[in-house]
Structure 1
């Protein structure tokens, strides 16, 4: 019996059935083009390792195989992507799963025992449902505000659209819920006739009808700007039209203003054929900002690093861009793209998206003192096989001899031997702090057990000197026991901390991190452990914010005075964190909650205040997404990662660098909201109806001396310029104009003039309506201004004359006045 038991103990046992982490058991619908598949290997035999896995996706109705990936090795053994396998059966050639369909994920693990009878685990399975591959949402309105009023302009030059008249004139009708009117603009031969009916009972999807009228209508591309209740601004992008007499063109609108072709028979929005897309295909969702292309012709641009003090010439290098597949580019002030360093990878990184192709050169940083460029990347060790290579991470320092245009030499300052990494969860972001130390973000390499293991570099935020040695004030530094991973650790317990930035307000590093089904924004303090243990719930540990479902935050940047003066953003935006959310890998069209930049407000202790607000979002039909993010001298720059054109593929040339630039809004009271919205919402009064909030209508008094010049003897006095409901008290300094004067007389007229006289230059037109006031020398005049808001902004001219005992006269300077509120 004992011998039999010993024999059984020596026999190989199959691995346990895989534990499936992704897709989650409970969660939102999965994007059909980017299905996360993650499992955990476990084996009752202590010495057995994970050799390979088989992955399958089956449709439930009918029950049929749709996708398969057999013999997945390396990182794909526990983390598979659709791009790594093959679509079969009804899905052959599809490239993605189907929308709104229930699937069954099946996976089994193989150990390295070599025993065909016991090397495979039982199958594990999990059901999940897909959603939509693209997320277009209809614009829904119940009212268009009369004030601020709509503006309909030509896209090319901003000129107002003026519809022609005629017996049956052309018109534009904006409707909600098919037939309920929101706004109608009709040609008249003069100013367009506008009809703005009362609010509708409920909001409905918006469409526009352009009618050619009796003579037809030809219009170029136009923009219709309007405001909804709450002063929410919308810009509807209308295409060029060439309508025959009485012909109609009908368009649906997405919530970001993109127009789509419609028919009279459609009863609900159909977002299939776009009529007009923005160019570039990104929409700014906050007033006062614009988005514009800076440079293009890039391939997989991952990160952006600015020259800290760029030169002023058009051909001076402004920033660097890392391209994933082994190139660092320069971009000059005039948008020209050059090559700083190329062929940086000693292996072919080409692979599938999503899948094994997501690896290479990632993070960049520029030394503000030397101008040297630091880059993080993976290199091939030669220890693996073609189908299961072994890659290690490193940080390389590049030095230039031509003003940063090209690299003359390179040196690996950090080489993480033994720390195997591959696609996605690799070394990434680099940041040089004000103290000259380098922060290095290290993914866990799909080995979650390394994240809280201080003997491993993986799953950490590291801090080093620029020569690659550990910073001596790191929380675990101890030179006495030799230098190892522990000496470099600044914080631990992270999964895939792809982006981050230093916040000047508190001096801390903030990090955005990709999780399995929820993502994390965290404030990093020395010695912090963020607790990543392989379970998605641990992504909530020490989180300032969690994205659920996961949105793939890949970079962040603070708007702050210490970084190019906030990049030209207004001070109200300073100390805000901006985060790029890339969303599912290489998918077309908008994605719910992703392909955008979100803005976070943090308080003094780093906690998130309120909900994030979107600054920019994708509104195209292509694959464009977002990755790198950095503030420059004139805005917030971001990389689009993929070309728009489908034919180029994810690795093709055609990706761009865009810039979000602040143009400003008319905001006289500085509350961050446009003045016309302050008035529309009732937060500011505008009693004279001139479109300027009353609190901004300050009184003015401008000195005018005349030609020849009179003595500057008349001053506004202690009360300042005149305001409605107040008493204005100007004063004459008789010592400057007529000593011994016995009386001072003040004249207020509607306009000024300049007529020399024997008594000085007459500067007020006394021929019109004139108010006069008399006072004794040295005593201020008392001018009572009625409490009539119609007087706000009214201009007047005031001049005084000093009268002597013998009737002699002496004229003073004039004050050109604007009455304030």
Structure 2
């Protein structure tokens, strides 16, 4: 059953103040003002069930069917028109624990026509190795559905791996995004909490890789002639990337966790080094210093840096079908502040415009086919929420 709740808004990047309110009536009207869109008064929220540690979601192109991954290794498809849930089998065996498990899901926009049955599906997950090691992988298969009562992933083959596999269960990143022309697949590869590999281009940790759709290194990469995993690299010097998307100008941006402070939104450029762990606007967890980014350090600089951190789950650039005034803006899912954060994109100098208190850690937010926002709470029993604008 639908439930509408009353959310608070936090406004401004320079001085942030939380508004508070209570929310129990079936329909409530939020009392808040967005500094750049005065008519907006908050979100109306409709629930679409709960999931076991949901991590990512993606609409099957051309449909109202939403595929949701769960970190322990399960997944389901939600028919958002009927609110029915469809079981999915044929999922990979994942190395579940810490930050690892089943990760991202992606579909090819060019397959928007026709039946759901037979769609290409891309998944990422944590894969166990030998000697207590593990690493992220990306697999590709076909989604087969029988009368939309149940679906199965067939022919799921691993087409890309983090290399090398290492110990620990953190900083996999493993977000997937396709270039606007659908010629390339970009995969975020975290540095697995090992720091130094992010500056070593003989591996693919702490990097963004640019691949063909079959997982092979793409021609024209910065070090394509080097062969091996080095030929995959597009950019490096990254820490833990949990958001990637292309803006309306076709530029790739990434959002990554800093250490204690220094979360970063970066415009991704071919062959650029983003500085981790040599430079960061945060400090190590033990309090030891890391030199801040500086004009003469030779590294690419963040477009925005957050201290205190926002602990991003992901982000999406909005097309603005429903939130018209936000067209082209970025919406970030916040874990630590339990907010959605809106960033006003202004060329190469974006700025934080507003925060919206969600009352729970938000793992993921995407834009649906009609422009509504779809958010996943980051917990066992995390809800799938549809967000639409309330107006004054």
TM-score interval, normalised by the smaller of the two chains:
0.7 to 0.9
TM-score normalized by the length of structure 1: 0.39
User: Where does 1:9-88 land on structure 2 (aligned, <5 Å)?
Assistant: none
Does structure 2 retain, via aligned residues, the 8 Å contact 1:513–1:553?
yes
The whole-number CA distance in structure 1 between the counterparts of 2:72 and 2:84 is 20
Give 1:361's aligned residue.
102
Normalising by structure 2, report the TM-score.
0.80
Shift of 1:284: 8.5
Q: State the Cα distance separating 1:457 from its structure 2 match.
A: 0.6
The match for 1:376 among 101, 107, 124 is: 124
- Whole-Å separation in 2 of the counterparts to 1:470 and 1:282: 51
Shift of 1:617: 1.1
Q: Tell me, yes or no, if structure 1 residue 569 matches structure 2 residue 323.
A: yes
Match of 1:15 in 2: none
Question: For 2:343, which of 600, 606, 611 is the aligned residue?
Answer: 600
CA distance in 2, matches of 1:550, 1:281: 31
Q: Could you tell me how far apart the structure 1 residues matched to 2:253 and 2:28 are?
A: 29
Contact 1:283 1:618 in 2 (8 A): no
Between Structure 1 and Structure 2, whose CA radius of gyration is higher? 1
The 1:628–1:486 alpha-carbon spacing in structure 2 relative to 1, beyond 3 Å, is: same
| Contact 1:567/1:632 (<8 A) preserved | no
Aligned residue-pair number: 345
Query: Relative to structure 1, is the Cα distance of residues 289 and 365 closer, same or farther in structure 2, using a 3 angstrom cutoff?
Result: same
| C-alpha distance after superposition, 1:128-158 (max 9, x if no partner) | xxxxxxxxxxxxxxxxxxxxxxxxxxxx99x
In 2 relative to 1, CA 283–548 (structure 1 residues): closer, same or farther, beyond 3 Å? farther
In 2, the alpha carbon distance for the partners of 1:435 and 1:328 equals 28
1:531-610 pair list within 5 angstroms: 531-533=275-277, 536-537=280-281, 540=293, 542-560=301-319, 566-570=320-324, 572-583=325-336, 594-604=337-347, 606-609=348-351
**Shift of residue 512, structure 1, vs aligned partner:** 0.9
- Corresponding residue SS for 1:400: strand
What whole-Å deviation, never above 9, does each CA across 1:734-790 have from its counterpart, x for those lacking one? xxxxxxxxxxxxxxxxxxxxxxxxxxxxxxxxxxxxxxxxxxxxxxxxxxxxxxxxx
SS in 1 for 2:152: coil
The offset of 1:536, in angstroms, is 3.8
Question: Structure 1: where are the runs of 5+ without partners?
Answer: 1-155, 158-220, 224-253, 259-275, 311-316, 351-356, 561-565, 584-593, 643-651, 666-821
Distance 1:494 1:659, change over 3 A: same
Retained in 2: the 8 A contact 1:396–1:411? yes
Higher strand share: 2
Structure 1 residue 392, shift from structure 2 partner? 2.2
CA contact (8 A) 1:474 1:490 kept: yes
Tell me the secondary structure at the aligned position of residue 402 of structure 1: strand
State the 1:464 CA deviation.
Answer: 0.6
For residues 226-237 of structure 1, the aligned pairs below 5 Å read none
Tell me which residue corresponds to 1:510.
253
Give the structure 2 partner of residue 241 of structure 1: none
Partner of 1:627: helix, strand, or coil?
strand
Q: 1 or 2 for the larger relative contact order (CA 8 Å, sep ≥6)?
A: 2
- The alignment partner of 2:253 has SS state of strand
SS of aligned partner of 2:259: coil
**2:223 aligned residue:** 476
Q: Which residue of 2 aligns with 1:522?
A: 266
8 A contact 2:144–2:154 mirrored in 1: yes
Instruction: Find the aligned partners of 1:452 and 1:412 in 2 and give their Cα distance.
Output: 26
Counterpart position of 1:408: 154
Q: Quick check: 1:257 aligned with 2:21? A: yes
The answer for the alignment partner of 1:613 in structure 2 is 354
- Summarize the Cα distance change of 1:284–1:402 in structure 2 as closer, same or farther, 3 Å threshold: farther
Query: C-alpha distance in 2, partners of 1:281/1:454?
Result: 53
> SS of the residue aligned with 2:199?
coil
Aligned to 2:137: 394
Give the Cα separation in 1 of the matches to 2:160 and 2:153.
Answer: 18
**Equivalence for 2:378:** 641
Partner of residue 49, structure 2: 296
After TM superposition, give the deviation of residue 524 of structure 1 in Å: 0.6
The answer to whether the 8 A contact 2:99-2:172 is kept is: no
Aligned partner of 1:662 among 386, 389, 392: 389
**Contact conserved, 1:477 with 1:487, CA < 8 A, in 2?**
yes
Q: How does 1:296-335 map to 2 (within 5 A)?
A: 296-310=49-63, 318-333=65-80, 334-335=82-83
Is this contact kept in 2: 1:599–1:612, CA < 8 A? yes
Deviations 1:786-816 (A, max 9, x none): xxxxxxxxxxxxxxxxxxxxxxxxxxxxxxx
Pick closer, same or farther for the CA change 1:294–1:473 going to 2, 3 Å: farther
Number of the residue aligned with 2:365: 629
1:458 aligns with 2:205: yes
Q: Does the CA contact (< 8 Å) of 1:306 and 1:630 recur in 2?
A: no
Aligned to 2:115: none
d(CA) in 2 for partners of 1:500 and 1:487? 20
Q: Please give the alpha-carbon distance, in whole angstroms, between the structure 2 residues aligned to 1:451 and 1:417.
A: 12
- Offset from partner CA, 1:629-675 (integer Å, 9 cap, x none): 11102311110121xxxxxxxxx4x211112213545xxxxxxxxxx
Moved over 3 A (4+): 276-286, 534-541
Deviation at 1:576, TM superposition (A): 0.6
Q: Match for residue 86 of structure 2?
A: 338
> Is the Cα contact below 8 Å between 2:73 and 2:93 reproduced in 1?
yes
What pairs with 1:102-121 in structure 2 (closer than 5 Å)? none
Structure 2 unaligned runs (5+)?
7-17, 35-39, 112-118, 282-290, 294-299
